[in-house]
Structure 1
Amino acid sequence: MDKFKAKAEALEKNKKNAIAFYKTAYLGKPKKAVELYVGENYKQHNPMVGDGKQAFIDYFNRMHKEFPEKSIDFVRIVAENDLVSLHTHQIWPDNDQYVTMDFFKFDDNGKIIEHWDSIQQIPQTSMHNNTMY
């Protein structure tokens, strides 16, 4: 297999794994998500979540317990080199809606080792008619 094809396949695999990781954790199984998709060390950049695997598990367990009725849709997925970005639409209780952008860094084994995110609540009104997506 040539290098270009191998790289393209790795990018596609990382994209699928980023989605599977996020869905699994978001829907209440963060320990399973970490076991399947996270590498040796996990570095967190979200200031609301502690660093490391256990802090991630604890955070998502708490979120699932406090907000079991939430949904997530993956609007777009972009991958480059060892990074995957997920652009999502989340709906929380009382129709509280958010746009999120999550970035995941993968190691050479296709495991997630680092995470950044940005979250914005979707406002009720806007100065234009464009969507957030």
Structure 2
Amino acid sequence: MSLSTDNPKAAERAYDLPGSFAHALWRGVLCKCPRCGEAKLFRRWLKPVDTCPNCSLDISGQRADDLPAYIGIFVTGHLLAPVIIALVTAFALSAMALLGIIIPLAVIMLIGLLQPSKGAVIALQWWNGMHGFRKERVEEPPA
């Protein structure tokens, strides 16, 4: 079934829009399309698809830039700080042993967080209608 972007009402019936910003963000973290939540958001490690094959959302205009890396650094730093403090205070490790534990752990965490962070940033941009995305929301039922 092909979806036409000329008729947004017809396109909305084919998929469920997220009900909240948190739901859209979670779809991005799971590396799924923020609009439909079905199709993959990335065709390669950090290269998003141009258009969603399920709902025809044009993703090519996204501008995640460096924000996913900053998010990864921020989260990694905050998660590793207690680990570093515990290693330094509880064990008598040399500086080289500490570096041998902390640096690989930090690199693995950063690599693991990079793609979900980029998906979340793309979902943030879609939800707010930034960088060529159209702001779409679930219609509230009349009171």
Name the TM tier (shorter chain).
under 0.3
| Greater fraction of residues in strand | 1
| Greater fraction of residues in helix | 2
The TM-score with structure 1 as length reference comes to 0.26
Q: Which structure's CA Rg is the greater one? A: 2
The TM-score with structure 2 as length reference comes to 0.25
**Greater RCO structure (CA 8 Å; 6+ sep):** 2
